[in-house]
């Protein structure tokens, strides 16, 4: 689990360093975002690689685990949409962009850069909110699992196939870690389609 | 000229196919190369997005800033919690 914490710390350190540079130098957004998109395609291709590579683990997991993972992925998407609608209504923000940010399901390195193409502020919200979701899962999963049981795996969203898999395996056991793996694989495969579709669907 | 969305779908599809092929003929070197590339690209991407966040911070003042901060705080916690609650309700019904 140490490697997951190290990955989260590295990402937070990169965000903090970037924020400091951005606040001090205020570089123009266009070239910064253009450079970011090149890396975005690499991040997505690498995520796709992990999805493609996991088919054996998913196939071996067994029917019950696959069905639970699919159900959890469905609840994760439903929770994202419901929360996005509530937040947009409460704050008077565009529903399509808030729901798209929520649908990131913890995949901050995709959601933030993608939403920044539509609105820099929503790029910030998509990036920071989803990074925090991953951090909350790493920090609070043990407590959530002890109070709420197996559905706590849903909190991890797309991160449950990689960064939060360790914490799930340690506190919930191998069965629920496999359910989390299926949930994460499904969400990682559908988020790059879902987020742009919802974001461009003006409500 | 391909759109951003088309490039995203192509990247994902290329990655899935490459991952599938790698699983048929596992290569430790290829796997390690992807792990390193993934780690490095996430750090660079998050750093670049941090630059965007930092340069946008000055425009996030007053009510707009408060609204963006509130949205960030709510979007970070509510989606996961609502998903968990829906999952719990479904588990209880079974």
- pLDDT by residue for chain A (203 residues), tens only, comes to 567 678 778 888 988 999 899 889 888 888 888 888 888 889 889 888 988 888 888 788 788 899 999 999 999 999 999 999 999 999 999 999 999 999 999 999 899 999 998 988 899 899 999 989 988 898 889 899 999 999 999 999 999 988 888 788 888 888 899 999 999 999 999 999 999 999 988 65
Distance from CA of B92 to the nearest CA of A (A): 11
Interface residue B1 vs chain A (CB under 8 A): no
Report ipTM for this prediction: 0.86
Q: Spell out which residues of chain B touch residue A82, defining contact as CB-CB under 8 Å.
A: 79, 82, 86
For residues A164 and A193, give the distance between their C-alpha atoms in angstroms, rounded to a whole number: 22
Interface residue A47 vs chain B (CB under 8 A): yes
Put residue A105 in one of left, alpha, beta given phi > 0 → left and psi -120 to 50 → alpha: left
Interface residue A139 vs chain B (CB under 8 A): no
Structural contact between residues A61 and A69, judged by C-beta atoms closer than 8 angstroms: yes
For residues B68 and A194, give the distance between their C-alpha atoms in angstroms, rounded to a whole number: 23
Q: Spell out which residues of chain A touch residue B7, defining contact as CB-CB under 8 Å.
A: 37, 41
H or E, element range at A171: helix A165-172
* Cβ-based burial of A117 (10 A; exposed 0-12, middle 13-18, buried ≥19): middle
Q: For residue A105, which phi and psi values (nearest 5 degrees)?
A: 50, 35
Interface test with A, best of B17, B21, B67, B87 (most A CBs within 10 A): B87
Structural contact between residues A45 and B19, judged by C-beta atoms closer than 8 angstroms: no
User: CB A26 to CB B55 under 8 A?
Assistant: yes
B88 CB neighbour count, 10 Å cutoff:
17
């Amino acid at each position: 689990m140490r490697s997951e914490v190290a990955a989260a710390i590295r990402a937070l350190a990169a965000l903090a360093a970037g924020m400091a540079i951005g606040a001090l130098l205020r570089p123009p957004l266009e070239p910064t975002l253009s450079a970011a998109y090149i890396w975005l395609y690499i991040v997505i291709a690498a995520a796709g690689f992990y999805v493609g590579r996991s088919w054996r683990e998913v196939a071996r997991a067994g029917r019950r685990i696959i069905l639970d993972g699919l159900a959890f992925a469905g609840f994760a998407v439903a929770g994202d949409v419901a929360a996005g609608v509530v937040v947009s209504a409460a704050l008077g923000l565009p529903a399509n962009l808030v729901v798209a940010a929520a649908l990131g399901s913890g995949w901050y390195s995709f959601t933030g850069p993608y939403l920044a193409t539509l609105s820099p502020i929503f790029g910030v919200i998509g990036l920071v909110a989803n990074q925090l979701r991953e951090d909350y899962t790493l920090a609070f999963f043990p407590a959530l699992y002890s109070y709420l049981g197996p559905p706590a795996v849903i909190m991890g969203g797309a991160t449950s196939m990689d960064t939060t898999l360790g914490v799930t395996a340690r506190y919930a056991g191998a069965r629920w870690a496999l359910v989390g793996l299926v949930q994460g694989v499904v969400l990682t495969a559908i988020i790059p389609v879902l987020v742009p579709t919802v974001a461009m669907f003006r409500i | 000229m391909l759109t951003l969305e088309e490039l995203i779908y192509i990247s994902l599809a290329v990655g899935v196919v490459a991952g599938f092929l790698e699983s048929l003929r596992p290569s430790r070197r290829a796997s390690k190369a992807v792990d390193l590339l993934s780690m490095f690209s996430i750090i660079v991407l998050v750093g670049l997005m941090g630059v965007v966040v930092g340069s946008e911070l000055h425009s996030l003042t007053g009510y707009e800033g408060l609204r963006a901060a509130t949205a960030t705080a709510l979007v970070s916690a509510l989606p996961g919690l609502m998903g968990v609650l829906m999952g719990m309700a479904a588990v209880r019904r079974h």
